A = this chain, B = another copy of it.
């Protein structure tokens, strides 16, 4: 029997947003690898092994998964959201390129998922209504200057901006610094959304403005959306407002 590796996006959290393709691949797997909290979302069927690891060990985790697939196992490796968006997929291909040449012949498939970006946007309306970008505020793998250059370019050019990895205990100041960069380019009234633990039981959605945005509202589970000068806020009686970015910029 030939082993294989499926790199699977679990979606934002709610099991109703896990695709049937992902559910089937998980069901068939003999071994599932992932960061503990994501792995905890995967129902463990009889005989299936779960290999939980820590957050920062992506490439090591990818290598272990590939080595097991090479020995004939049906392996899955999971990410929250979509595995291709700041998830495990890039780490897997990095491990393949740098690892055992036999790994290149393995059947490796990536099963897409509903990314946090899409789930967070859906919760407040249609803030991604036109061109948009996604930027990770983590400076573990790139220079902070690269982050600020991209923030400045994106705000200047009129992209809606999704900020991944806005804050953690080890990176407490980056989001505040990012807001400072954006305030130089965007009106203070630009809508900002803090979407934390989207679609999970402890979901928290805060809609504010760039002027009022408080970095303390974000943690490791938060995605921050920053609109453009054209993003609209629709007030509603007795309910949270809708946000949307008009498609037309004419």
Contact = CB atoms under 8 A, between A and B. Distances in A.
A92 B85 CA distance: 27
Number of copies of this chain that the complex holds: 2
A133 B133 contact: yes
Contacts of A17: 19-21, 112
A82 B135 CA distance: 19
Interface residues of A, number: 80
A177 interface: no
A11 B16 contact: no
B21 A14 contact: yes
Interface stretch (A47-55, A119-127, A168-176, A207-215): A119-127
Contacts of A112: 12, 17, 114, 118-119, 121-122
Contacts of A76: none
Interface in A125-173: 125-136, 141-143, 146, 149-150, 153-154, 156-159
